[in-house]
Structure 1
């Protein structure tokens, strides 16, 4: 029969996972300005004018400079294919802005303002959390409870008692935020675009080692 010291030398490693659902308080949208012209300089100049208009309109809507960021700027030649041959048609310039909206009730207004001032590409919508770390810490606590429940259940299955305090805890990966996203689409002018919030989920995973 094993003594107590022998029993404490046995360990098991289990994983714990938890997800928390929260209503988001931030929205991030990508709005783009796409222009085309046979001359690259003309396409770039038109794009610059329209981009400045969109940026100024966003500022007028209450979006700060820090919440308007360029995430891509591309210049590409355009070709049509006629009877197997490529025919040069000019240039396409695309400027994509990432816009963070802190007043989530204004998502539709910001969309409409951007489109009315010259944006013609909407590539994504993401809901996020300004205080993600607070919820992630709570999810970590729940993940640990999940691991404890698993260890206890395994101990019962084996007919032995598992000590409730783990001797080692390891965080598995980074916080995972499951976000509601809108599919990419070309923007069209319309009034009062309706945007409905959806819950986001934050996930935490840990690995814990228990003695038995």
Structure 2
């Protein structure tokens, strides 16, 4: 049995094929949305390192420096719940010295080293600079990080809002594209969310400026460290796949 297709039918069939080639059963729309947050808390991580001939002496000195820093910070307005220590280590410390006689490096025992961390987490942003000044004057060796950050609750609220905006925008764009094609969205096939687009998320950016203000001199006051924060940007890309089909005639 043979199937005969005339030129007119063939042309109509090709037109239908071309039309459906550009109208798959689903379409994908990508949208990017952004939101901004101000900081609600400051997180400062201090490191305290002491070295002495004996482990006990080094530990006592380390504890003394931390206790002094904590007490002074509490006097300045910090709460006890905002201060904590972590990651304490005690170990023998050696330094490398070059020996001209042997033409090699020798390990020289220099004592026992104690390392500890003091973490300050507070919603009192104005205490950040004062906490640093107190820590330095108390014998704390290093400030490893200073961060002004939003709270997790605020971050979640922003994410939900930004994702909702991106999805709504994707739906609008898809409907606009389908309008002249006499097709419409039937349902959502999938939603893929990519946060921190191109690595530009600044929700946890470190402090930007650090300097001492000229409070001394005639006033007889010590210089106080000042910290400046910036707003945090959150980017999200939403990829939405829609099931589409021809509009139903009323």
Alignment of 1:189-204 (within 5 A): 191-204=223-236
Question: Which protein shows a greater Rg?
Answer: 2
Cα distance change on mapping 1:24 and 1:54 into 2, 3 Å: same
Alignment partner, residue 150 of structure 2: 129
13-22 or 91-100, which moves further after superposition? 13-22
- CA distances 1:38-82 after superposition (whole Å, capped 9, x unpaired): 211111111112111222222223222332232321223322212
State the TM-score, normalizing by the size of structure 2. Answer: 0.66
State the TM-score, normalizing by the size of structure 1. Answer: 0.76
Alignment of 1:102-117 (within 5 A): 102-117=123-138
Give 1:101 deviation, angstroms: 2.4
Alpha-carbon contact 2:45-2:146 (below 8 Å) kept: yes
Cα distance change on mapping 1:143 and 1:66 into 2, 3 Å: farther
Cα distance change on mapping 1:16 and 1:91 into 2, 3 Å: farther
Cα distance change on mapping 1:15 and 1:78 into 2, 3 Å: farther
Give 1:103 deviation, angstroms: 1.6
Cα distance change on mapping 1:202 and 1:69 into 2, 3 Å: farther
**Structure 2: gaps (5+ residues):** 1-15, 99-104, 209-221, 245-250
Q: Distance in 2 between matches of 1:160 and 1:75?
A: 74
Is 1:166 the counterpart of 2:198? The answer is: no
How many positions carry a matched residue from both structures?
Answer: 199
**Structure 1: gaps (5+ residues):** 184-189
Q: Distance in 2 between matches of 1:92 and 1:133?
A: 42
Alpha-carbon contact 1:127-1:200 (below 8 Å) kept: no
